[in-house]
């Protein structure tokens, strides 16, 4: 029952994606990033002050690297959501586990260690599923959005390595999210210098507020899920975000997904969950991927 919190988180992340798509009709991507990040910075800053928790960190370099790649991944996903069907953009973003598993395989090959054939098959199947997702759902003019979604998955995988490293070195989850939000806020503000700020309307302001609030609630639900439930069950259930997003896209935006697209999403979900499970035995995927970053 505890892992049901992950389903709540998955639904909220899908709702956040829908809010981003709605807001993107009126605001620049950099602006949406600003308001999404501002909610986290303010909420967690108030939490730290109210509970007398220190905001200072002994690991500023790792936070900086995590924040840089994480904030970039967030921006890329927002862009992908704005130009692609919601389910398609979300499926591409959730290739992060496949990229992370590919890092594990890459390290094993370079070290001439035995490669897990099931892990290799799950990664290959997952990327085949990506092709099925893309083929019926976007045209030639949407290649930038597809590329942004895949880059989001790659950078999210790298960000996850840093998150695992920070957690193992004693950084609390709230401080990791705070510095990520701070980095995203800085990136959004830098981008807004070039794209400018849009005048608010009541509906637009509500959409931006919804992006920030749903993101914060989703993170809290996900944190609770991992605190109370099985990590492997949660890793599998998080892929339900793709299904929720696809359904919301059909209802709210009239997205049309062909049967082959649904099949591709199913392949991504199954292979991604399997890759997550396999990559954590016996070596954790974070440890393998961290070795990749150190060797390169």
Predicted pLDDT of residue 228: 67
Split at pLDDT 50, 70, 90, the class of 289 is very low
Task: For 103, list phi and psi in degrees, rounded to 5.
Answer: -60, -45
User: pLDDT at residue 85 above 60?
Assistant: yes
Listed in sequence order, the DSSP H helices in the chain are 4-23, 29-50, 60-83, 86-93, 96-110, 117-134, 143-168, 173-195, 202-228, 231-237, 240-253, 259-279, 285-295
211-245: per-residue pLDDT in tens?
999 998 988 888 777 766 666 677 777 888 998 99
User: pLDDT at residue 290 above 80?
Assistant: no
Give mean pLDDT, residues 268-283: 72
Rounded CA separation 272/153 (Å): 12
The domain total for the chain is 1
Residues with Cβ within 8 Å of 293's Cβ and at least 6 positions away in sequence, in order, are 158, 161
User: pLDDT at residue 296 above 80?
Assistant: no
Predicted pLDDT of residue 212: 92
Range of the domain at 113: 4-295
163-206: per-residue pLDDT in tens?
888 988 889 888 999 999 999 999 999 999 999 889 999 999 99
pTM over 0.75, yes/no: yes
Split at pLDDT 50, 70, 90, the class of 133 is confident
Give mean pLDDT, residues 55-69: 93
Predicted pLDDT of residue 294: 40
Rounded CA separation 16/22 (Å): 10
Rounded CA separation 239/185 (Å): 27
Give mean pLDDT, residues 14-39: 95
102-127: per-residue pLDDT in tens?
887 887 788 778 877 887 888 888 88
139-170: per-residue pLDDT in tens?
656 788 889 999 999 998 888 889 888 988 88
User: pLDDT at residue 24 above 80?
Assistant: yes
Give mean pLDDT, residues 86-99: 88
């Amino acid at each position: 029952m505890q892992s049901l919190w992950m389903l709540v988180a998955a639904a909220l992340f899908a709702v956040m994606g829908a809010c981003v798509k709605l807001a993107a009709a009126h605001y620049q991507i950099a602006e949406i990033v600003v308001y999404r990040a501002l909610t986290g910075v303010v909420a967690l800053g108030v939490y730290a002050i109210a509970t007398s928790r220190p905001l200072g960190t002994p690991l500023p370099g790792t936070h900086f690297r995590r924040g840089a790649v994480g904030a970039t991944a967030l921006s890329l996903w927002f862009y992908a959501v704005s130009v692609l069907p919601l389910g398609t953009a979300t499926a591409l973003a959730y290739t992060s586990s496949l990229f992370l598993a590919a890092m594990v395989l890459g390290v094993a090959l370079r070290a001439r260690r035995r490669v897990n054939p099931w892990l290799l098959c799950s990664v290959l199947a997952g990327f085949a599923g990506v092709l099925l997702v893309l083929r019926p759902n976007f045209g030639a003019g949407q290649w930038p959005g597809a590329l942004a979604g895949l880059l989001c998955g790659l950078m999210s995988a790298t960000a996850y390595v840093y998150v695992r490293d920070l957690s193992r070195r004693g950084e609390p989850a709230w401080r990791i999210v705070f510095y990520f939000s701070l980095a995203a806020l800085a990136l959004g503000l830098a981008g807004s210098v070039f794209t400018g700020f849009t005048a608010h309307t009541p509906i637009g302001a509500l959409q931006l507020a919804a992006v920030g609030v749903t993101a914060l609630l989703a993170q809290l639900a996900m944190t609770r899920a991992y605190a109370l439930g099985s990590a492997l069950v949660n890793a599998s259930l998080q892929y339900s975000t793709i299904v929720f997003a696809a359904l919301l896209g059909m209802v709210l935006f009239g997205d049309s997904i062909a049967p082959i697209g649904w099949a591709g999403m199913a392949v991504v979900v199954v292979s991604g969950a399997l890759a997550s499970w396999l990559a954590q035995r016996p070596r954790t995927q974070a440890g393998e991927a961290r070795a990749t970053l150190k060797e390169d």
